[in-house]
Amino acid sequence: MDEQDFPKQDPQQNNPYTGAPGFSPYPEEPRKLKHSGPGIASFVIAMVTIVGYIVSFIVAAVLIGQEVHVTITLADRGGEGFLFLGLSVLALAALNLIGLVVGIIGLALRGRRKVFGIIGTIINGLILLMFVLLIVVVLADVGALS
């Protein structure tokens, strides 16, 4: 065998440290993506509204429970609890709508993790869906939809 039988190779071609474009002699770690700020905000809004719903139902139950007599009739002052519950549920539903929009914005960001955005969007969307279904059921029971 002669030297002519082997293909000629450029010594620079096999050298990994030649500075080829896009090549680094050091091992490159994959970039760790940051969580999206709007996604985190959406998740936090969802958690705050869940706690808000629980607290508002407890407070309304305490306010209404003080006015309920043994015969299950409401006294004249029983409307305060219902008013508080209605206003707090409306305010929390508006906050859920904001959380849903912020979660969708968090999902639309590129180059960011989307875990909190997905969770926040799902929770806020489910709560809003339950709120809308509650309104539909109440309206159907009253007979306004027929």
Q: What is the pLDDT of residue 8?
A: 57
Q: What are phi and psi of 143, to 5 degrees?
A: 100, 15
Q: In 3D, which of 118, 89, 88, 91 has the Cα closest to residue 104? A: 118
Q: How far is CA 72 from the centre of its chain?
A: 40
C-alpha–C-alpha distance, residues 111 and 32, integer Å: 10
Q: What is the pLDDT of residue 133?
A: 94
Q: What is the pLDDT of residue 52?
A: 96
Q: pLDDT grade, residue 87 (50/70/90)?
A: very high
Q: What is the pLDDT of residue 128?
A: 95
Q: Is the pTM of this model over 0.85?
A: no
C-alpha–C-alpha distance, residues 40 and 21, integer Å: 38
Selected residue with higher pLDDT from 70 and 25:
25
Tokens of 108: 């639309």
Selected residue with higher pLDDT from 30 and 19:
30
Q: What is the pLDDT of residue 49?
A: 97
Q: What is the pLDDT of residue 24?
A: 62
Tokens of 49: 């509204």
Q: What is the pLDDT of residue 6?
A: 60
Selected residue with higher pLDDT from 89 and 25:
89
Give strand pairing partners of 68.
74
